[in-house]
A = this chain, B = another copy of it.
């Protein structure tokens, strides 16, 4: 084990929103690497899964929009690394919950940045934006690199742009050690069924158990860039170690597949025949045709995805089979 790894094993790591989908995979990965001082924040109830992974004293129930509470926690932990995952990640209903999503995502970003600044802490911070910031692409703009303009088509995307821009501002104004990422769609075990792939897999598992009849789907012509969440968290860790402070990095596979193709693969994996139906409630006020990442910048640091999409889909389907 290299000196850096020995050193990092004792570094305090804070994962905000660590008790969510991505947080769970990041926790596992960091533990595999030997990190011991990993702390998570959680807003709501904590799943038993997390309590089986690390001591309850390392899981902090906190509302990060509360700046005083945030400052107190940061002072207590003085983390060397902060993975800022906390956010309301909801695209589908973001026109309905728009005030809440904007308020929440912006306030917790501010709370974190201002607390670090006031405490004069030099933690390295990874800020998680979203490919949704790019939104609609024009001809000739694909694949999407980090210079692609922002053309958001939902309030969630705007909240992510604001987080991203606040992070940039604090880097410029206060030299905070900030690295920003814009991940494209990612999938895996423990993702909630608000997201399309998780929803499809859950429905198929229900159909297999005879508890549902037809697979309800949305717009299947859209093309998306999917990455297994285990590859995404590897990118987060790599960027924390080797990313350039102040810079922003796309994370994605660099390949677009139609939702139709994904559904077909899932149906191939099913143990029973599956009938599908388009549910108009699953269609968004506006949807984007194609989203595909240019990940040249990240690949230059030595990252590439290791889990194939079909393998990833199998994992997701098995997760729902075991969970339901």
Contact = CB atoms under 8 A, between A and B. Distances in A.
A188 interface: no
Given A147-B149, A150-B150, 18 more contacts: A95-B173, A102-B106, A106-B162, A135-B172, A136-B172, A149-B149, A150-B165, A150-B168, A152-B165, A152-B168, A153-B172, A154-B173, A155-B166, A157-B169, A158-B166, A161-B162, A161-B165, A162-B162
Stoichiometry, as copies per complex, reads: 2
Contacts of A173: 95, 153-154, 285-286
Interface string A162-176: 100110110011100
Given A102-B106, A172-B136, A173-B285, A158 B153 contact: no
Closest 8 CB pairs of A and B: A173-B285, A158-B165, A162-B162, A153-B172, A173-B286, A152-B169, A152-B165, A161-B165
Interface in A248-306: 285-286
Contacts of A107: 99
Interface centre among A151, A154, A158 (most CB of B within 10 A): A158
A286 B172 contact: yes
19 contacts: A95-B173, A135-B172, A149-B149, A151-B168, A152-B165, A152-B168, A153-B173, A154-B169, A154-B173, A155-B166, A157-B165, A157-B169, A158-B165, A158-B169, A161-B165, A162-B162, A173-B285, A173-B286, A174-B285
